[in-house]
Amino acid sequence: MFSKNLVKYYRISLTKIQQWVRKRKHAEDEQDRKDYDLPAKHMNTSHIRSNERRLVIILEGAQLETVKVGQVFELLNCDDHLSILKKNGRDPGSCRPDITHQSLLMLMDSPLNRAGLLQVYIKTEKNVLIEINPQTRIPRTFRRFAGLMVQLLHKFSIKANDSPKKLMRVIKNPVTDHLPVGCRKYAMSFSASEVKHPRELVPKVDEPVALVVGAFAHGALNVDYTEGNFSISNYPLSAALACTKLCSAFEETWGII
Specify if 190 maps to a domain: yes
Specify if 229 maps to a domain: yes
Specify if 32 maps to a domain: no
Mind listing the pLDDT tens digit of every residue in the chain (257 residues)?
Answer: 545 555 555 555 656 665 655 555 555 555 554 555 545 444 544 455 556 899 999 999 999 999 888 889 999 888 767 677 788 878 777 889 999 999 999 999 999 999 999 999 999 999 999 999 999 999 999 999 999 999 999 999 999 887 889 999 999 999 999 999 889 999 999 989 999 999 999 999 999 999 999 999 888 899 999 999 999 999 999 999 999 999 999 999 999 99
Query: pTM for this structure?
Result: 0.82
Specify if 186 maps to a domain: yes
Domain enclosing residue 203, as ranges: 37-253
The three-state (H, E, C) secondary structure of 113-151, written as one string: HHCCCEEEEEEECCCCEEEECCCCCCCCCHHHHHHHHHH
Specify if 12 maps to a domain: no
- Number of structural domains the chain divides into: 1
Specify if 6 maps to a domain: no
Q: CATH number for the domain including 222?
A: 3.40.1280.10
Specify if 30 maps to a domain: no
Specify if 211 maps to a domain: yes
